[in-house]
Amino acid sequence: MNREIQLIKNKERLGSILFETGLVLELLIMMTDAASWTLPYRGRLTQAAFGLFVLKILMTRYNARQLILGGVAGLIGVASYLTCREEYVIRAVIFVIAAIGIDIGLTLKIVFYGVLASTIVIMGMSLTGVGGEIKDVRDYGRDGVIETRYCLGFSHANNVHSIIWYLAAVVILRLRDKLKFLYLFIMAAVSIVMYFFTLSRTGLAVSLLVLVLSAAVRMGDYAADRRKRDKGDTGVIKSASGVPAVPGIEDILLIIMTLLTLVVSLFLTVRAAYEFPYLNDTMEKLDRLLTGRIEMVWEHAPLYAWRLFPGGQVAELVDDGFAVIGYSYGYVVLGLLTAAIVYLSVRFLKQRDRYGQIILVSVIMMIFMESTFIFNVSLLCNMLLIICMSCKTQQTEQKRAA
């Protein structure tokens, strides 16, 4: 079972270059798609990126377990493509499989600086009048009130704040235990200031959740280290993999938060798709709080139309990403998504990776609230794929080190 299989041998370095090249293409597609203008030939670029990821797979070593899990996920992706004629699932599967063995530090650095630079360019073009609207004045579904929200060259004001959450998540994934409170404070201040321009309650809530929980974990680690120094302890008991043998109370609370957020999101999604929300006072109040997101599910992604693998139906005007998956991609793909989230949550618990767990909670919330940002032409819009890539790569590195 420990035997590794590699189709094209001794080309790991070339495979890494091909992966990072495909990553840059996906990054370019992601940022231009989030903007109010579209990149020409983006379809061809997605195909080129897909081909590069496939070549990377041929140059990567895989053990039997990775081959089996990858094969099952790949079959689901192919079945999804053949039935709904949408290649997103198979592209996502290939991306994650290709990410095994890459330099995660370099990859996250490319993603962070690429997104940051692109954001500055998009905003700069808008503010100078070169491309993209600065603000959008209309009724956003909040009790018929006409609002002015700044989109700053992006296709929607929510996308501006989603980018702030995205950048914060990548920074935390990159630095983890090296996080400085100054970084968290700056990102929190930027998010709060931007709220007065974007009025994005979702973006503010999710970004602050990540930053506040990360600060709490950082403070807990700092206090624990200080207590150890005061007592003269050399450290906690660790397993052979180098992580604490017993999970702390923070680890337990975070996995409970992750799974509870997932269960509540799925319950509300199915409940909204099953019955008109305004027949229930609680659902009606929740729908008003979420600016019509619950009613969108009932109107455009009703539960009776969900299938194992739907035949090309598209959930338009639906912000709930779980409903989009269930309606447009089917129960099987929704099950794969749910299994991936649970798997990552358990892996983060075993690795004592509290920061990964925090970001996973925010990903679930963002999937529930903003499907247009998560499920897009570019794979990199989906932060779930990035943390999955990060987790897989860390597992590979730990096994090689052992």
- Nearest residue to 374 via CA among 15, 14, 25, 34: 34
Pairing of strands 146-150, 135-139: antiparallel
Find the DSSP H helices in 301-353.
Answer: 321-324, 331-351
pLDDT of residue 394: 56
Average pLDDT over residues 337-351: 93
Lookup result for tokens 């020409």: 40
Q: Kindly report the backbone phi and psi dihedral angles of residue 8, in degrees, each rounded to the nearest multiple of 5, phi listed first.
A: -110, 110
Residue pLDDT, tens place only, 268-279:
999 999 988 888
Q: Which residue has the higher pLDDT, 6 or 103?
A: 103
pLDDT band at 238 (very low <50, low <70, confident <90, very high): low
pLDDT for the residue 206? 92
Residues 6 or more apart whose CB falls under 8 angstroms from that of 106 comprise 20
pLDDT of residue 380: 86
Is the pLDDT reported for residue 76 higher than 50?
yes
pLDDT of 375 over the 80 cut? no
CA neighbor of 368 nearest in space, from 334, 311, 322: 322
The three-state secondary structure class of 154 is: strand
Q: In angstroms, what is the C-alpha Rg of the chain? A: 21
Residue 373 has pLDDT above 70, yes or no: no
What is the structure's pLDDT at 17?
93
| pLDDT given for residue 370 in this prediction | 85
**pLDDT at residue 140, rounded to an integer:** 67
Phi-psi region of 5 (alpha: psi -120 to 50; beta: other; left: phi over 0): beta
pLDDT in tens, 285-329: 888 888 888 888 999 999 999 999 988 788 878 889 999 999 999
Distance of CA 111 to the CA centre of its chain: 13
Kindly indicate the confidence band of residue 263, based on its pLDDT and cuts at 50, 70 and 90: very high
What is the model's pLDDT at position 6? 73
Query: Has residue 71 got a pLDDT over 60?
Result: yes
Domain ranges for the chain, please list them.
Answer: 12-233+242-401
CB atoms within 10 A of CB 264: 13
Per-residue pLDDT for 245 more than 80?
no
- Asked if pLDDT for residue 229 goes beyond 90, the answer is no
Q: What percent of the chain has pLDDT over 90?
A: 44
Which pLDDT score is estimated for 227? 72
Mean pLDDT (the chain) is: 85
9 pLDDT above the threshold of 70 = yes
